[in-house]
Structure 1
Amino acid sequence: MSTEYNKTILNDLLEPIISSYLCAAHSVKGQTIIASRATSNRSPRPASRNDFHVAVLCALPLEANAVEAVFDQHWDDGGLSFDKTPGDPNSYSIGVIGRHNVVLAHMPGIGVANAASVASACKTSYPNIRLGLVVGICGIVPGNGSDERVLGDIVISDGVVQWAFYAEEHPAGKLRKTPIRNSIYTREISCYLSDIRATPQLGATYPGKARDRLFEPDFKHIDEHKTCGDLGCSGTPVPRKRLLLEPDEPAPSIHFGLIVSGSTVMKSGRDRDRIAKEENVVAFEMEGAGAWDSFPCVVIKGACDYADSHKNKVWQRYAAAAAAACMKGFLQEWVPIESITQIPKGPWFVIPHPKNENFVPRVSYLETLMSQLGLGTHADKLGSRVALYGLGGIGKTQIALSYVHWLQEICPSTSVFWAHASSPERFLQKCKIAGYDDPQAEILSLVKSWLEQTDRGRWLMVIDNADDTELFAPSQKDELIHMSGPAIGRGKLGRFVPSCRHGSILITSRNKQTAVRLAPAKHRIQVAKITDAEAMRLIRSTMEDDDITVGTTERLASRLEHLPLALVQATAFMQENGTSIEDYLQLLDESNEVLVNRLSELFEAFGRDSETLQSGLEAVTKALGTLIAFSFVSNRKNDTVDMHRLVQLVTRKWLATRGATDDFTVAALKVVSNAFPWGRFETRDICLQYLPHAHAVLTAHGKDVEAAKLPRASLLYNISGLFMHQGSWENAEAYLSQAVRILAQAQGEEHPDTLTSMGNLAATYRN
């Protein structure tokens, strides 16, 4: 429905309602309740789209008309338009209901896919939506006895079950919410309904008891294009006690329970009753499940038929009006929990690693950093960029770490931000400074502008492991071809590196080209291998043997190419196994293959207890302990581990020699697919944590085997949600198109999974 269509019919509609609200007072439970349209109680106009916390989704024009009729104020009338995010195809009406600023999203049609697309786009334009209300009409389960339901009644969702998604197959498919029965006053809703029905243009009059006819489940309507009156449906109606006992115009009752949300209309009384019994549902509709991925939702629907083949449009307007009245009653009571975010005051110290007490100072490099970065003792050189580059394992990160801990002691008023740049996802996570939780902001742009503000004080940002040149400065080819990989794309990080007089940048990289692109010529420092004297101090600082000779340490350092990391791993191995340097040198001299085999034997010995059965968790814990002892795996503060590349290579070789690569690839896909949630504002942190792992399993050998297809499609679909939330529509399209292709081949084009993915893919095309 277009905005122009709304205004042409609703300006006339709302005139009598506004008058009635200004003049009328309604007695509810002995109290006088004055409608909130009085001029003295007008709400202040919102400052921006960020001030809207409630979204209402309507699939049909008659549903949207009823909702707009209960607006207390319209922000569309007068004042500047709030517009919407570029690329958002939705049509909106905005106003006030009770205490809430409300955005009404007009859907282009019915169905889960349309709801998902509209809700996703709505979230981009109105990023602070805390509650979605799907309001309109539905098919109701008639019930019996004390729980009898009739046409015109209202259902409110305790949860939503997506059609053809059952708990046994997809546990996450059933979405339950705490019942909200105590928040709704039935008599107050009747009052709002009376106001709506006072508007002739809505046609929301009660159709009458005679038109409320429930047939036996097996009695089918022959021609869906003709009404029961045209066909003369002569089946004996099921007696309805409420219609017999209540007045000529019974007040709508409110029913709480699970609602089935499907991609097709329920037209079978037998299927209705079977599913209602199996799932304990109260109604059937077509939009609720689609909106849920974008924000928490409550479905509020009025009953216009009994979810059987006997459809009758005569009840639709009244049912829509009843749902709108109930929605207003709900919003009169609902109060959002305000999240109070304390913005920390600096300085900030985002340093992931503790001080390394065994670090052997490499004095010349530390003195150069102290001089060139302009922090601590050389304030005249603030705003500098310095790059440390050299071989992996040469000690770049340890030098940088030693410097920042020195800086923290010497100049505690200087903030330090440590960002791991091996992937954009890690870069995003490590820059969690003030403003990070604003879902509308472009995160890296926010970080850059925040740091460049002069009132932030002095700061140092360490960009560690900036090994991918194209991540910071793209080639001409990459500028022309968009890569469907990381969320912010290749080559785009360079423009987000801040530049100002009060801040300095320290980069570590194995790639000299990155150093050249990010730091001026005189500020590029190549880190060389350690000297024999430094190797001696390093070995003696980590080993307990006081009889170590200069000759043996020099031989070991030479054999390990004077790489600090290799020496640390060697000393860890010797300490764990009680091996002398001479024995270790003999082991190395045998051959690299023998070394790998020896390590493999040790891993097997430590990883399995032949006498005692162990749980999977115990086995993993023991295996990790072995790897940590060898310094192949290191613990991190956030309960994660970093695995050395050697371990990854040996593991892949081990799997390949045993022909187990495909099996483990499928297992890895399933694990990551189950762990990776649908991307949205609430789950973005965990999505960003898992995204590098998701990329790894999606590109792994064996990903195309049959057993990998469905978990692969599920993972692609959930990753697309993250990109849609970020407004990265090209990346979302790339992932969704793959998911749709796999699902269509594996499950068919009519399967609900496939249809939902198609709906989201269509949304990316519109954007």
Structure 2
Amino acid sequence: MASSVFFGNANNGFQAGTIYGPVNTTFHLPPERPETPPPPSILIPFVRDADFVERGTTLGQLQQRCAAPDARAALVGLGGVGKSQLAIEHAYRTHKESPDTWVFWVHASNADRFRESYRSIADRVKIAGRQDPQANIFKLVHDWLCDCKQRWLLVLDNVDDAHFLLSGQAGGDGQGQTTNAQVIRKPLREYLPHCERGSIIVTTRHEAAALKLVERRDIVRVKPMDEAEGLALFKKKLGLQGNNSGVAELAAVLEYMPLAIVQAAAYILQRAPQYSVAKYLDEYRKSERKRTSLLNYDEGHLRRDWEAKNSIIVTWQISFEYIQQTRSSAADLLSLMSFFDRQGIPEDLLRPRTERQEAETNQTEKAEDDGDSNSEDDVSQSSAGDDEFGDDVVVLQSFCFISTDAGGTMFEMHALVQLATRKWLESTSKLEQWKQKFVSNLCAAFPTGEYENSAACQALYAHAKAAREQQPKDESSIAEWATVLYRAAWFAERSGNIADAETLAIKAMKARKKVLGQGHEDTLWSVAMVGLAYRLGGRWDDAEELFVQVIETSKKKLGADHPDTLTIMANLALTYQNQGRWDAAEELEVQVIETSKKKLGADHPHTLTGIGNLASTYQSQGRWKEAEELEVQVMEMRKKKLGADHPSTLTSMANLASTYRNQGRWDAAEELFVQLEVQVMETRKKKLGADHPHTLTSMNNLALTCINQGRWDYAEKLQVQVMEARKKKLGADHPDTLTSMANLAFTWKAQARSAEAIVLMRQCVQQRQQVLKAGHPDLTLSLRVLERWEVE
């Protein structure tokens, strides 16, 4: 039965009865009505930012490039660094300075949005033929721009993946639909016209994408703001006037990253007045989890595309995902780098550890291997590994996630990028995997804290401190982590960083107790390191308690004559010295020396250290001649064994000069003043640093020699320097700081500045009463001196 269709009163469209076979129908659209071309205008989906902050010469560079005929430029930088904001400001300035210039904005994150933007341009400028379903909208806009009599600026925003611009586009109706008879058109990149009257700006996170569209010379790198710019932006967003130290501090913490600053300002303002900059800063510093929570805030920016995230964390994680999909080995490299300190990341620690181990053992393996080795294969594998690593570095540099030093062997990255990477790893359940890899590589590279390893330790020290907050969960990895912290504590102690040494040693001790047990040798050494930090920090009773504990366990585990046991006994004897318990110190030191001579030999460094310690005890007891004999012996042996500029040799030389001075042998002391004390002080400055405790001791000794020579002004200058440096390095109430205070008081008294001397000595006595036990020789002496001065 045939069906019928009713079309109404009009006779429009296609009407047919029953048809058997194909039908070809042609629709004839009515001709387009002529449209009046509009005057040049600005087509940007964002309002101008009233809070815009000048970015040094960046806008100037952009303007200079765009002023040339047929100009192209690319703003390349991290996500959230302000590339689009610079492009927006440049666009508005361009149109204001030249109202006859067309300004267009193209969303170039993907093909669909690129097409939408081109269609918007066609509609705005009223291009004829744009309504035709078969029209190629890209060609229409391209041709219009080429024929345009006015100047124009085209901004391609967010070209982070340029692949869609390079592939051929299927022909169709101009809306993304195609017919059965598809025609492959040229790549979209070809629809970006070259025209003397036009200029094109590209914004992208990915340098490789930029290079698909512009020459390398046309890249303008956008870096985070400097201090003044970051502070200015923060104040504008918060509506603040004048100086605000909290804002400056927070801007620095956020590494002057514009998106992070805008995000933080929005967070604070939304919660005001109950919330403040100080509150945000306090919350930010509480933990890594709190930092990521604050930085995940996704509000506050009106001049970002709807696809772009306002959260700095999420913004970067989009790039992480892209790298993971396109080159997973580069994502792995970024993952590993995220745990290091942000600066001075050595290439050697980033390569697979097995390569380093093979390189270190290669010579021994060859000596034992009677078979032929395929050296050509070895070379090709190494070369391939170098190429892979180099390519990964190029990818990360292209996204502005890392940078290198001039030599290309040290890397650097923003702390916020590291934080975002770790957050991303946590979300993908890979955090522990890469944390363990970081710890393992660092443990393999970080040497023990002997003087000979100082340079290597210094290069890795910041990374060990970064590891302090990255304890793994796996027990074997915890053991490696504790080893890193212990060795770093050792180096910190040798470097005079007592506070760091204590913090690192305590963490290592707790971890080793947990995974190795109380009696394990490594645990004992960690406990001893904590004791050493306590002793150097003036916590002598705490140090004594730990040393006694370790000695008892070490005697049972290792034996009373084991070198490790003797070392800890020597540290306990030094603690007795600090406490003013000279007899106990002497008894223990003699015991250590005799056992060390039998076990290690008379010229062993441990034996010489013991002899030097005994000489120091003799000094404290006023037994100058005995002290001198031992110090000469130790100094000569150390010169032969270690060299004249070794820190231990310098200590011997300084101690001998001090003994001469205390004996009243001014002729000898004056000679040593030139030959020893100045030499020791200057060498220590070079080797250890100007604020190292040993360097400060040398300055103090030189001041005492100057006093004996009657050079009061120079002595006072040195003593003030030492006292202030010790306050900063050791603390205002450290026993060594109080010794400096007492020495300066004596100098002022000798200069007839009695009132000042009494005030300073009174302060010294009050502080010594708080930190020293009653009866301590230093406290007793200062009390006696103060009493005498006050009645004079």
TM-score normalised by length of structure 2: 0.34
Greater share of strand: 1
TM-score normalised by length of structure 1: 0.35
**Which has the higher relative contact order, 1 or 2, with Cα contacts under 8 A spaced 6 or more apart?**
1
Greater share of helix: 2
